[in-house]
Amino acid sequence: MKLTGAEIIWECLVREGVEYVWGYPGGAILPTYDALSKYQNKIKHVLVRHEQGATHMADGYARATGKVGVAMATSGPGATNMVTGIATAMMDSSPIVCITGQVASGVIGSDAFQEIDITGITLPITKHNFLVTDLRELVTTLRKAFFIARSGRPGPVLVDVAKDVQNASIEFEYPTDAIRLPGYRPAQSASVQQIERAVEMLLKAKRPLILAGHGVNMSGAERALLTLAERGHIPVALTLLGKGAVPESHPLCLGMMGMHGGASVNQAIQGADLLIACGMRFDDRVTGNLKTYSPNSKKIHIDIDASEINKNVKVDVGIAGDLRTVLEQLLPHVPVMQHDEWMSEIREWQRDVDHRDIVNQTPPTDKLFAAHAIRDLWKATGGNALVVTDVGQHQMWEAQYYLHERPRTLITSGGLGTMGFGLPAAIGAKMGCPNDHVWAIVGDGGFQMTLTELGTAAQENININVAIINNSYLGMVRQWQEFFYEERYNATPMHNPDFCKLAEAYGIAAIRVTNRAQIPEAVAKAQSINGPTVVEFRVEEADIVYPMVPAGADLHNMIRRPNNIPDFTESH
């Protein structure tokens, strides 16, 4: 059959199993939007309010489901507005495909209206990108884009399609052969020698520790990892994006590591004699000072991306391969073990942490602290919500006080730290997982960067709950100013709108919470409404995320909440 390039785009998306496309039309992509009318019963298009929102929605969908998310925009500013979302997906290995329109191939390079070299701009922040100026290459290019996005270490791929390619027609035949790219062979399994060396190190270890990262969830290795931990009696520390890799209620799960991780977790890392790093990349927010990072441990690193091995932390055994495959190779060689003395030492550190923890202290009733709000939100939702966060203090409090039992139930921007990610990513996550209760936990600063997507949520009646942790500050920056800049609070106090009135202007139900006693009822009401809701939590303005490892400091050199000295009456 004969199809236009625009029709071929939609035909390929259908054959790739695409359910949703988040996008915004414009001149250079208009032929493709015109062809959408023939495919509306097969693919749902969601009109966003800003192209950045489209990429975050595709990203949230991809992280929640494991499928490829798709975003669409026109040329020029439409394409450049996607850059932040593409970079966010790249840093966190999220599989999305972005399709952009481009000016006609005959005028490329002439500075035509809304022409931009988007493939040049996004070259460093995509796994791969393509410019299509020949209709005969369109089908193959789109198939390659999806294959690259989802295979190996996932990531974003951009396909820029010239307008004349969209308008032209050709006989369409969809290939059925497997995609093969010269030189692109993601590693899958470990060698016999690598497994033997890893087992030998594990058997000799007295203080082993598993570090579980985002790759556990992406490879579907949760069951294999938990089996390794239980059989070897090995405690597990989580990266931010690794939360949910093992149930946080499990006695071997220590919680989050790193800059704002648990003090006991960081102490365990520094005291271990073996680290087994699974699907994580030793980010600086995890390691602190590399020169003093876990100085007495042997290190095993398993990751799908060979370039990550020995990049930041030198390891004794590096295995480039699919994590689930490698763990399943390893497990038959791991006997039942006990490390009771090591676990007893960790429990002692945990008791000290619990003693200092703000959620184990009772504040005055006229004060609402974010940590209490999030812990009570966890209780009120039964810990079963799919949570999407923005970036800042609230993100770290969520990681500390909302415990995740299932994989893919915390979606957040880790590597890039993108403020404004939370609301649009929650929309995408909810569309991918319609049966889940989805909560977007956002700060008053980041929320205002993409709050226009409330319009998208309202138009599509997306059943998400938005919890705004409102402290009237850019809270994390203010915290750094307090600790490291002699309390010079430049450009961090915020004059905010009335968020409840703002939500109501979009036709969205809004609830304000000013004290802890109101939280259970507010959460129940929000979850009972069939449609988007906004719950504003008016929390203490000058609160601190404890502990904190200063940038570049030793991992064990944490700023901790004072022991047995409540912080409730101090002003910062």
Q: What is the residue-wise DSSP string for 82-135?
A: THHHHHHHHHTT--EEEEEEE--GGGTTTT-TT---HHHHHGGGSSEEEEE--G
Residues 6+ apart with CB under 8 A from 40: none
Residue 338 exposed, middle or buried by CB count within 10 Å (0-12, 13-18, 19+): exposed
Q: Please identify which residue in the block is written with the tokens 């059989």.
A: 231
Active site residue 57: no
Q: What is the model's pLDDT at position 176?
A: 87
Q: Please identify which residue in the block is written with the tokens 């032929």.
A: 31
Active site residue 367: no
| Bridge pairing between strands 410-411 and 386-389 | parallel
Question: CB of 443 within 8 A of CB of 370?
Answer: no
Q: What is the model's pLDDT at position 437?
A: 97
Question: CB of 506 within 8 A of CB of 456?
Answer: no
Active-site hit among 38, 40, 42, 113: 113
List beta partners, residue 512.
Answer: 536
Active-site hit among 7, 51, 453, 536: 51
- What is the distance between the alpha carbons of residues 201 and 297, in angstroms, rounded to a whole number? 10
Active site residue 16: no
Identify the CA nearest to 510 among candidates 537, 538, 535, 539. 535
Token code pair at residue 480: 């750094």
Q: What is the model's pLDDT at position 489?
A: 97
Q: How far is CA 450 from CA 55, 60, 75, 414, 504, in A?
A: 12, 14, 21, 18, 17
Question: CB of 254 within 8 A of CB of 268?
Answer: yes
Active-site hit among 7, 52, 90, 163: 163
Identify the CA nearest to 326 among candidates 195, 193, 153, 186. 195
Residues 6+ apart with CB under 8 A from 336: 231, 233
Q: Please identify which residue in the block is written with the tokens 């226009």.
A: 452
Residues 6+ apart with CB under 8 A from 457: 423, 427, 464, 506, 508, 532
Identify the CA nearest to 248 among candidates 56, 66, 404, 446. 404
Active site residue 51: yes
Token code pair at residue 405: 């039992």
Domains and CATH numbers, the chain: 2-171 (3.40.50.970), 192-349 (3.40.50.1220), 358-538 (3.40.50.970)
**pLDDT 10s per residue in the chain (572 long)?**
899 999 999 999 999 999 999 999 999 999 999 999 999 999 999 999 999 999 999 999 999 999 999 999 999 999 999 999 999 999 999 999 999 999 999 999 999 999 999 999 999 999 999 999 999 999 999 999 999 999 999 999 999 999 999 999 999 999 989 999 998 988 899 999 999 999 999 999 999 999 999 999 999 999 999 999 999 999 999 999 999 999 999 999 999 999 999 999 999 999 999 999 999 999 999 999 999 999 999 999 999 999 999 999 999 999 999 999 999 999 999 999 999 999 999 999 999 999 999 998 887 778 899 999 999 999 999 999 999 999 999 999 999 999 999 999 999 999 999 999 999 999 999 999 999 999 999 999 999 999 999 999 999 999 999 999 999 999 999 999 999 999 999 999 999 999 999 999 999 999 999 999 999 999 999 999 999 999 999 999 999 999 999 999 999 999 998 865 455 444 33
- What is the distance between the alpha carbons of residues 92 and 438, in angstroms, rounded to a whole number? 20
- Our CA angle for 532, 534, 538, nearest 5°, is 170
SS3 content of the chain, % helix, strand, coil (to 5): 40, 15, 40
- What is the distance between the alpha carbons of residues 554 and 287, in angstroms, rounded to a whole number? 8
Amino acid sitting at position 561: R
Active-site hit among 19, 44, 67, 114: 114
Query: How many other C-beta atoms can be found within 10 angstroms of the C-beta atom of residue 509?
Result: 17
Alpha-carbon 126 to chain mean position: 16
Identify the CA nearest to 319 among candidates 189, 201, 212. 189
- What is the distance between the alpha carbons of residues 263 and 45, in angstroms, rounded to a whole number? 45
Q: Please identify which residue in the block is written with the tokens 């429990």.
A: 347
Question: CB of 228 within 8 A of CB of 402?
Answer: no
Amino acid sitting at position 439: W
Active site residue 282: no
Name the strand (E) or helix (H) holding 367: none
Active-site hit among 90, 476, 548, 558: 476
